[in-house]
Amino acid sequence: MKAGLVYDPIYLEHDTGAHVENSQRLVSIMSHLEETGMKEKLISFSPRLASIEEVEMVHAPEYVFRIKGKAENGGGWLDPDTVMCPRSYEVALYAVGGLLSAVEKVMAGEVDSAFALVRPPGHHATCNRAMGFCIFNNVAIAAKFALANFNSERILIVDFDVHHGNGTQEAFYGDPKVLYFSTHQYPFYPGTGWLDETGTGEGEGYTVNFPMAAGWGDEQYLRAFNEVFVPVAKKFQPQLILVSAGFDPHWADDIAMMQMSVTGFAQIAKILKQLAIELCQGHLILTLEGGYNLQVAASGTKAIFDVLLGNTEIVDPLGKAPLTRETVDFEQHLKRVKETHHIED
């Protein structure tokens, strides 16, 4: 199996200062991949600069112009959570381009799968608004790009970040060509992603939200993936699987209250890889979204690469959550999600 790594030091130049989403995230991940010998097992390739036309497949032209102007004027805060510096506009174009490069390499068969280690992240960015540390919606633009350039008719986007990808959902809420599946802590930022948000018009049924209660961990996540995600994915028959990978559901990440482990992330990656092999010639591309505990982000990334390469031994330095708590009846919640999407036991 050939796995690709997308990375470039330019991503460190999105200078957010002491912000929780800072360059040390990628420094820690890349250092760990090098120290463990993982990087040399991967096929590394650089991102390209996304064109304005490509970005405008998702974002309004006036929004793109506003971000460019903000950078030229020295940067600053775009909302209470999202900040940029003078280089951030260019870096954000390379973040989009990292995903587009991955799509090109995977669809050309140069690699079977890829993980794009990019920043700024993207899944909260809407058509005309930056939010949640995100400037351009990398994964949504990649989906539009694949639909436009590779004779693709069905793209599956999976999002296991602890926060709901409201921007991604919005981009495809009425589009039957893109199935969006998300697990996320709820209620939590940004306030979207309840199970009755299922799409509109021709896109009805192509948004599948599995909101997770605080305190749930590996067991509940894996049942959500095996009992809801797998059947809807098989019914949809995607030609490409894109993944917004956030490591912030980990029990050691202070930004949220979930109880996942590195082993749990690896098990989700195994499900995704097996489905990609079964449904779409192994075409699987992940992109980094959240994850703010540096050790978790580093070990989680390596664990996913181990899965992509077919390695059976997963190193989990932090182990299982010291305490899990089921604050909501999972069985009843699972039943409601299944009924919403007509999934039979």
* Catalytic residue IDs: 124
- Please identify which residue in the block is written with the tokens 């097992």: 41
Overall size of the chain counted in residues = 345
Tokens representing 208?
Answer: 């599948």
- Please identify which residue in the block is written with the tokens 């998702």: 58
Tokens representing 69?
Answer: 């102007």
Query: What's the rounded Cα separation, in Å, for the pair 182 and 184?
Result: 6
For residues 114 and 286, the answer to whether their CB atoms sit within 8 Å is yes
**38 Cβ contact partners less than 8 Å away, ≥ 6 residues apart:** 32, 302, 305, 306
**319 Cβ contact partners less than 8 Å away, ≥ 6 residues apart:** 261
Please name which of 58, 113, 46 lies closest in space to residue 273, comparing C-alpha atoms: 113
Amino acid at residue number 292: Y
Q: What is the DSSP letter of 129?
A: B
The H or E element spanning position 303 is helix 294-309
Q: Strand pairing partners for 288?
A: 245
